[in-house]
Amino acid sequence: GDLLPADGVLIQGNDLKIDESALTGESDHVRKAVDRDPLLLSGTHVMEGSGRMVVTAVGVNSQSGIIFTLLGAGGEEEEERKEKKGG
């Protein structure tokens, strides 16, 4: 159950299965291979196997970072609307 800390591309893998439910909501584990579906996303968990990846994005530039940024921005807009209605 290692948590992937960054987005990346798989360059070497051995029977790698990833739990992407944190991002996609899909409960089935996704099989990853160099020649088929090599993208690994931060915030997902390794459930089986092992692998190496080249990191392509971290922090706010990763897919989970972009999602959290968008969720945070939406929350600020909601707060501004409440303040305008109440004030």
pLDDT of residue 5: 93
Q: What is the structure's pLDDT at 38?
A: 97
Of 25, 74, 44, the C-alpha closest to 10 is 44
Q: From CA 47, how far away is CA 66, in angstroms rounded? A: 24
pTM comes to 0.77
Q: How confident is the model at residue 24 (pLDDT cuts 50, 70, 90)?
A: confident
The tokens for 50 are 């092992």
Q: Which CATH code is given to the segment(s) 2-84?
A: 2.70.150.10
Residue whose structure tokens are 């196997």: 49
pLDDT of res. 23:
87
The Cα diameter of the chain in Å comes to 59
pLDDT digits (tens, 9 = 90+) for 34-87: 999 999 999 999 999 999 999 999 999 999 899 889 988 755 555 665 676 665
